[in-house]
Every structure is written in structure tokens, then in C-alpha cells.
Amino acid sequence: MPRAVSRLLAASLVALLAALLSACGDDDDEAGVKALPSATCGELEYGGEGEPDALVASDLPMRGASRERSQQMVEAIRIVLEQSDWIAGETRLAFQACDDSIAKTGEWDPATCRGNAREYASNPDVIGVVGTYNSGCAALIIPILNRAPDGGVAMVSPGNTLICLTQPSDACPRDEPESFYPTGRRNYARVVPDDAAEGAGLAEFARREGIERPFVLYAGGDRVSTGQATTFRLAAAKLGLTVAGLEAWDPEAKSYIDLMQQASASDADAVVLIGLLEQNVPQLIADKVSELGPNDGEVKLLADDGIAQQATIDEAGDAATGMFVSVPGREPGSLPAEGQKLVTDLEQDFPSAPQVELFAPYAGQAAQVMLDAIDAGGGERAATIRSLFEFRITGGIVGSFRIKPSGDPTPQPITVSLARKSFEPVAEIQPPPPLVSAARG
């Protein structure tokens, strides 16, 4: 059966099951598992035999500029569940895609993140969460899941890069990461490199490009962006680069010409943007080109992963051309065989998308890690959490790696891409451990 037809049939079966579960009301014996609230979560999905025993949720921003990326991430999770026949060991798993963003801003929302976390923790059928994308949201969800009944709820992120979630750093408050784990036990892991690795990788790329005086701009009021700016600055200093300036931008401002004039006066040979696309980045890019010239000219433009999505090119237009962006991990075209299979499936499911978003395969990998941990843990919350650490993946969707006791993966590759009509990879960098340590501070 062609994949497209198979997917339509599967979707129809999922919709039928959702309707049947809805008709059953709150009768958990008939419904199998209790669904999460529809206010922030999609329909309960299950395509396996019999009735589900447990529930896995995804927690991602499903609105705004991140919508297309998150849709691909959810589909990657769904594909992994389908390929496992919706079962992990002997535990049959249902799935719900939950939204941590709000319509007003199109961005993740603190109240929504906390509310989602409380629903996951209090629903005894929820055994794991795949998410979040935004580290700030994760910082609010992790402690709530850590205190959940029956030993907590496991969380595996395909996109969080904030160092402080797992390790101490000069960019973190003194009580982090311990404050995220009030029980004293870790319940969180990620499959992407952290900000220290990305900052080190981007600084190393800047050095290779001959950049000597980068001017760093970060989103004001955003602790994640502040931390990422710090890691880049520390890594750049370790490499002998001179940071020509370090300034915050106001995401509500109508113009950034003044900041670009500061960069020009500092004799910078590059501008580095650290933040999220939703924080008025298209205006920043336009003003950079207007004041400092094209990105392939005398003053280059670099950016981090919060800006590395197709929507940046779509919204910024020609001004984005020539911009370099770094992302944690490997880009879709560089993934091993298992990853390429998933990329092909996603290309079929999103035929109008210019490319598969980098974090989509990582969402699939996070889902696979979650399923393997549930299998190893026998379908129990506490045992699933214990199974996450020192976890080894060989020949996985994003390659071979292990999860350290901190919850971080190793190794930690970084990809740098060039903006044209889409983002085209130009380098994969494995920053050396001493440079990553310097970036962490």
C-alpha cells in the first residue's frame, strides 16, 4: 500500500477511535486511558491493537512562526509510534500533541507551560512527555513533573539547549540545575547538544571565516538568549576573538538602526544575533543589511538556532541571504540511514515544505528514546525515568550517542548553514571539550 494511502487510512482510524473514546465519557475502563484536556491538547490518538495502557504527550509551540516546525516534530513522533505499532515492550501507548503557545503572541506561554505540566503530572496514565522546544518552558515544566506521583514523569527534549537545565554554568543562577529537581532525582534528558556546545561551535566557525571582532546582540528580557550570548562570548574569547560589543535588543522596537550604528562604530566585522525569530528578528535583519551592507560583504551576519528556521527566510526575504546560522546537532541530509528514512517520510507528509526542519528528526529520536525507556522500565513511571540515564543509542535516527547522568547526549555536533532560498548546510563542527568547557564558564 502506498505510504500516502496508508497514512490516510491510519488517520481515519485514529479519528474513529477518538470519537469512540469521546463517546465513552470518563469511563477509564472502556476508554483505556484518560485523555488530557482539549483546551491545549489535540485528540487522543492510538493505532495499535486493543486499548492503550499509558499515554505519551508532546509539548510544543503549535502556533505562530514555530507552527510548521512543530507540526513536523509532532509528525515525526507519530511516525515513530506507528513504526513501533504503538507499543513499548508490553505497554500499549496512546499519544496526544499538546500546545504550549497562545494565540495572542504565537509564542510559548509560562502559564500554559505550568498548566500543561500539572495536567501531565496529575493524570496517572501519562508516562512520558516529549518536549519542550523552548528551554524557558522546560524550566517551568521539569520541577512539576519531577514531583509527580509514582516517582515523577519522564521528559525527553528534542530542542532544549539551555545549559542550566542539566549543568551549572556562569550563565546560570547558582541554584541551577538543582532547583529544577526538587526530589533530588533527575527526570529529564535531551537528545540535542546544549548551548555551550553550540556557542563553541559558532565561535569556531566565526574564527574559520576570518571574523575577528563580532558584535553580539541578544533578545532583552530573555534569560535563554542572555545565556546563549554568554556562551558565545566566552568561547570567542578562548579562541582569541575580540567581542566588539554585547547589547540587548528590545523585541518591541520598531527600528534597530541605532544598534547597527553602534556595531559600525565598534569596527565590528560581524553581527551575531542570539534570540528567537518571534522576537522581531526580521526587522533586525533588515536593519543590519540597510546599515551595514549585505551579509556576504564586509560585515557578516551570524545567528543561533532560535533563528534557524525556514520562516526566517520567508519573513525576512532577500535581507536574510548570506546569513549563517548554527543549530545543535546534524542537519537532515547528514543523518544516518534510520534518519534518512524518517526524513523521506516527512518529505512525503509535508510536500509543500521547502525542507524538513532540523528539529523534526530530533523529535523522532526523542520519541524513540522515550519508548525504549518505557520498555526498559516495564511501563512504570519511576522505572522509566531510571532507564533514561546512561542510555546508549547505536545507529539511531540522529546517529550513535549516549545520555550521560546529567541527561545530556554525547557527542555534541553542531551544524552551520547558509541562508539562500532555504538553509543550506556548509559545515559540521565537533567543538573540542576544552572549548565547550570555556563556553560553559
Q: Which triple of cell numbers denotes residue 253?
A: 522596537
Rounded CA separation 279/248 (Å) = 12
173 contact partners, CB below 8 Å, separation of at least 6: 164, 179
pTM to 2 decimal places: 0.83
SS3 content of the chain, % helix, strand, coil (to 5): 45, 20, 35
Q: Answer for the pair 411, 207: CB distance below 8 angstroms, yes or no.
A: no
- Provide the residue-wise pLDDT of the chain in tens; the chain has 441 residues: 444 434 444 444 444 444 444 433 343 433 589 999 999 999 999 999 999 999 999 999 999 988 999 999 999 999 999 999 999 999 999 999 999 999 999 999 999 999 999 999 999 999 999 999 999 999 999 999 999 999 999 999 999 999 999 999 988 999 999 999 999 999 999 999 999 999 999 999 999 999 999 999 999 998 889 999 999 999 999 999 999 999 999 999 999 999 999 999 999 999 999 999 999 999 999 999 999 999 999 999 999 988 998 899 999 999 999 999 999 999 899 999 999 999 999 999 999 998 899 899 999 999 999 999 999 999 999 999 999 998 899 999 999 999 999 999 999 999 999 999 999 999 999 999 999 999 999
Provide the 8-state DSSP code for 100: -
Domains and CATH numbers, the chain: 3-193+333-410 (3.40.50.2300), 195-328+414-440 (3.40.50.2300)
